[in-house]
Structure 1
Amino acid sequence: MQDEETVLSIEGLQVDIHTAAGVLHAVRGISFDVKRGQTLCLVGESGCGKSMTSLALMGLLPRQAQRTVTRFTFQGQDMRTAGKRQINALRGNKMAMIFQEPMTALNPAYTIGDQLMEHYMLHRQASQAQARERAIELLEKVGIASAGRRLGQYPHQLSGGLRQRVMIAMALMCGPELLIADEPSTALDVTIQAQILRLLADLQAELGIAMILITHDLGIVARIADRVAIMYAGEIVEEGEAASIFGEPHHPYTLGLMRCIPIPGRTEPGGKLGTIPGMVPSLIGPQQGCAFRDRCAYAQPCCSEAIPVQGNPDGQRWRCIHETLEVSA
């Protein structure tokens, strides 16, 4: 049952892309809920379907991609039957996204002010003066000094960190209920990255926004996530509360990712970190069984068949034949 605090509910989301080699199954039947004030982190290595999931939610898939979904509700509203006008009214207004690379996401031909003010004037029927006031307010909120002067500048006149802050301000202009942040700190140095993540966490706590954070950095996840969904080959292979995922991972892929992280006090300086052998399989053509089985130390012959989804009373779910894993394996 969906409660009033559930902002987004997804069940059976699938994205297929038609290519010359066949149908690429980029996202394969994933399901999750995000509640008000909650941060869900989508985690996985490059190519596992994280960004494609976010584009599917925002209705921004490439033309050759096809989305199918069993349930897709936003604030109780069925988005499967929503028309183009209805989606446009929500996108950038109640549903906002911070894209991966701010230099390409911002239009180099328009000033920062024009890009910040445009959709606020559109969605809120605000005057240019009201939109300018709101833009200055948000730029100051995200920590940009001399905000009024920045409105007249172009993206290339700002540093990477400032451009990312502008993207955050742009996403918050209309006061969204859901914020999707796709690798918001990947292109930034470590110091700026920490500032951006702290800023997102503070803004979310202040505004009560539901947030989906897409990343492959488990260090970020440990600091900011309430719930974690581990994606591999287009599927969510494990999902649950962050403390449960880090404390007792049940899927071999999750465990493999954990072993790749240095642990203060336990990992010796200069010591070897864990690795996951092999490569992500091709998702073109029919898919059957566990996609991780060729890289998994726990694989059994039955892993080539349909894999059950298991769970525990804490709400942790995983797609694997094993109930628990021997960590020493």
Structure 2
Amino acid sequence: MEPILSVANLRVDLKTPRGTLHAVRGISFDIAPGETLCLVGESGCGKSMTALSLMGLLPGSATRTSDTLTFEGRDLTRSMKELMRLRGNRMAMIFQEPMTALNPAYTIGDQLAEVHRHHKNSTAAEARERAIFLLEKVGITAAAERLSQYPHQLSGGLRQRVMIAMSLMCGPALLIADEPTTALDVTIQAQILRLLADLQRDLGVSILLITHDLGVVARVAHRVAVMYAGEIVESATAADLFRHPRHPYTRGLLASIPIPGRTPPGERLGSIPGTVPSLIGGVTGCAFRDRCGYAEPRCAEDVPWKSVGSQRWRCIHETLPAVAA
């Protein structure tokens, strides 16, 4: 099956007063039709910058390059007009914080209808009917009455549902969700995740879900790409990644979350010392080596890719030692 989105050697550089910041450093991945790929990692690893680069929403100081960047067979780097025809239509994005993504000066109805009228050349009545249908689809009651409300009149969970409905107005084939549950409490978070899974099942949408929450990944992912310091350091099916993480960074992330039924109450969770390194200037070897308990002098050299089954990872170790140094 041909991937709906294909990315090879994607790089995003930003000019800063201190030099060039290499926010995304040569990442590659594919997303199949109807698949959920989760992009995970700490804040500052380049996840959101990856999403913005796919949508063509990078700041003016950014430069995007790639060997391949295609969506449904179309080259996203060739024409900004072509990208603008696809954006909001065939590919859509759910932003991290709906209160800042929604325009406070316009009603929910106006904001939902705008994208449909622009891309589908529909009448106001047709766009309104579509908006009501999707608000009901995402679980909002009294949908017709909600159209006249403003974002500040809705709760965080309702605003996020409006954002999801807005992204679905034109029936996209790809949905990019940038940490859609971060600002929500656990109950609403579970509802949003269940909603995304139901929408994918009913509509066949492919999803690129960006998150730092491995609990979210375990619920929804088909495949996972672990990102660190602007690079993908490991990728695998969700089952393989949780069963046998290969990269030290992946292991550190998994050790930092409790396992239901296995982690005793009150037990201290694992942690990863240090912080993500600066990506200004050149980065050589393994960017994780200064935080890694398995690091060796050769980690400063070029690190090869290894693969077993569905898993690919970038590390000098084929199998990690049982105990870190």
Tell me the CA shift for residue 75 of structure 1.
0.7
Residue 57 (structure 2) aligns with: 60
- What do you get for the CA RMSD once the two structures are aligned? 0.8
Which sections of structure 1, spanning at least 5 residues, go unmatched? none
1:104 to 95, 100, 105: 100
1:194 to 190, 194, 210: 190
Tell me the CA shift for residue 76 of structure 1.
1.2
Q: How does 1:24-39 map to 2 (within 5 A)?
A: 24-39=21-36
Identity over the aligned pairs, expressed in percent?
68
2:173 to 150, 173, 177: 177
Counterpart of 2:115 in 1: which secondary structure?
helix
Tell me the CA shift for residue 280 of structure 1.
1.0
Residue 205 (structure 1) aligns with: 201
Q: Deviations over 1:143-182 (max 9, x none)?
A: 0000000000000000000000000000000000000000
Tell me the CA shift for residue 7 of structure 1.
0.5
Residue 239 (structure 1) aligns with: 235
Counterpart of 1:319, as a letter, is R
Tell me the CA shift for residue 266 of structure 1.
2.0
Counterpart of 1:12 in 2: which secondary structure?
strand
1:136 to 117, 128, 132: 132
Q: Distance in 1 between matches of 2:179 and 2:243?
A: 24
Counterpart of 1:328 in 2: which secondary structure?
coil
Q: Deviations over 1:228-268 (max 9, x none)?
A: 00000000000010001101111000000111011122211
Q: Deviations over 1:202-238 (max 9, x none)?
A: 0011111110000000000001000000000000000
Counterpart of 2:220, as a letter, is I
Counterpart of 2:50, as a letter, is T
Counterpart of 1:68, as a letter, is T
Q: Distance in 2 between matches of 1:327 and 1:176?
A: 46
Residue 318 (structure 2) aligns with: 323
Residue 18 (structure 1) aligns with: 15
Q: How does 1:61-80 map to 2 (within 5 A)?
A: 61-80=58-77
Q: Distance in 2 between matches of 1:207 and 1:46?
A: 31
Greater Cα offset, 102-111 or 72-81: 72-81
Counterpart of 1:143, as a letter, is G
Q: Deviations over 1:279-301 (max 9, x none)?
A: 11110001110000000011110
Q: Deviations over 1:87-122 (max 9, x none)?
A: 110000001000000000000000000000001001
Shift >6 Å, 4+ stretches:
none
Using the size of structure 2 for normalisation, the TM-score is 0.99
Residue 287 (structure 2) aligns with: 291
Counterpart of 2:4 in 1: which secondary structure?
strand
Q: Deviations over 1:114-149 (max 9, x none)?
A: 000001001001000000000000000000000000
Q: Distance in 2 between matches of 1:263 and 1:326?
A: 22
| 8 Å Cα contact 2:240/2:310 also seen in 1 | no
Matched, 1:256 2:259: no
Residue 4 (structure 2) aligns with: 7
1:303 to 296, 299, 302: 299
Residue 42 (structure 2) aligns with: 45
Q: Distance in 2 between matches of 1:78 and 1:297?
A: 42
Counterpart of 1:62 in 2: which secondary structure?
coil
